[in-house]
Amino acid sequence: MKELKETITAKAEYLGDGILKADSFVNHQLLPGLSTRMGKAFADRFREQGAGSATKIVTAEVSGIAPALVTAQALDIPMVFARKKKPAFMKETLYEASATSRTKGDDVTLYISSRYLEPDDKVIIVDDFLATASTLEALVSIVKQSGAQLIGIGCIIEKVFENGRQKLDHLGIPIISLAQVDLVDSGRTFTVL
């Protein structure tokens, strides 16, 4: 997605150690026009790749909520965001799976209520980054626990040097990234592919 690639080039900051800071348009501030167009780009790409029949978008709080919501708007289907704390007032069955946050350095457990993922759902998972794929693998596990069919995965920015895509390839479903970045200059900076 050209607009996103230009935004990354202009505004993302490489902090070293594989960390790409996208605070001004993904992780702290959101630009509504760009966000809305990212949702439409996801929807177009998923439709092109045969995943237009999705019935639900799944993501994880916090930074997944915005890209998942705009994709849900574009496909006009509900979105469910996994919680990182077990909600005290959810008494129903919860699906759960653990992920390691590379940038935050701790393990988190993700929870989704069985009320919002059902065996006849066709699910697309959307998140902000595809890096090590730890969060995405946890969401894949939750979708499988529910019996729903996973038909696509999308992320805004894929950090190809983290090789997360290889961990998801075995699923045999479309994996869409709106922009890919790689490290160059012996890891001292990044480039948008």
Residue 65 in contact with a copy of itself, rule: CB under 8 A? yes
Task: Name the residue nearer to a copy of itself (CB basis): 68 or 178.
Answer: 68
d(CA 122, CA 142) in angstroms, rounded, equals: 13
Residue 62 in contact with a copy of itself, rule: CB under 8 A? yes
Burial class (CB in 10 A: 0-12, 13-18, 19+), 136: buried
Residue 78 in contact with a copy of itself, rule: CB under 8 A? yes
Task: Name the residue nearer to a copy of itself (CB basis): 103 or 191.
Answer: 103
Task: Name the residue nearer to a copy of itself (CB basis): 12 or 165.
Answer: 12
Residue 30 in contact with a copy of itself, rule: CB under 8 A? yes
d(CA 143, CA 162) in angstroms, rounded, equals: 23
d(CA 126, CA 57) in angstroms, rounded, equals: 7
Cα Rg of the chain (Å, integer): 16
| Other C-beta atoms lying within 10 Å of the C-beta of residue 58 | 31
CA of 34: how far to CAs of 26, 117, 124, 156, 189, in Å?
10, 29, 20, 11, 24
Residue 184 in contact with a copy of itself, rule: CB under 8 A? no
| Other C-beta atoms lying within 10 Å of the C-beta of residue 171 | 16
Q: How far is the CB of 6 from a copy of itself (least distance, A)?
A: 17
Residue 141 in contact with a copy of itself, rule: CB under 8 A? no
Mask for 89-128, x = binds a copy of itself (CB under 8 A): xx------------xxx------xx-xx------------
Of 46-54, 76-84, 149-157, 161-169, the segment contacting a copy of itself by CB under 8 A is 76-84
| Choice from 32, 119, 169, 172 touching a copy of itself (CB under 8 A) | 32
Residue 83 in contact with a copy of itself, rule: CB under 8 A? yes
Instruction: Decide: 23 and 59 in contact? Cβ < 8 Å.
Output: no
| Other C-beta atoms lying within 10 Å of the C-beta of residue 33 | 8
Q: Which residues bind a copy of itself (CB under 8 A)?
A: 15, 19, 21, 23-24, 27-33, 35-36, 61-62, 65-66, 69-70, 72-73, 76-81, 83, 85, 87-90, 103-105, 112-113, 115-116
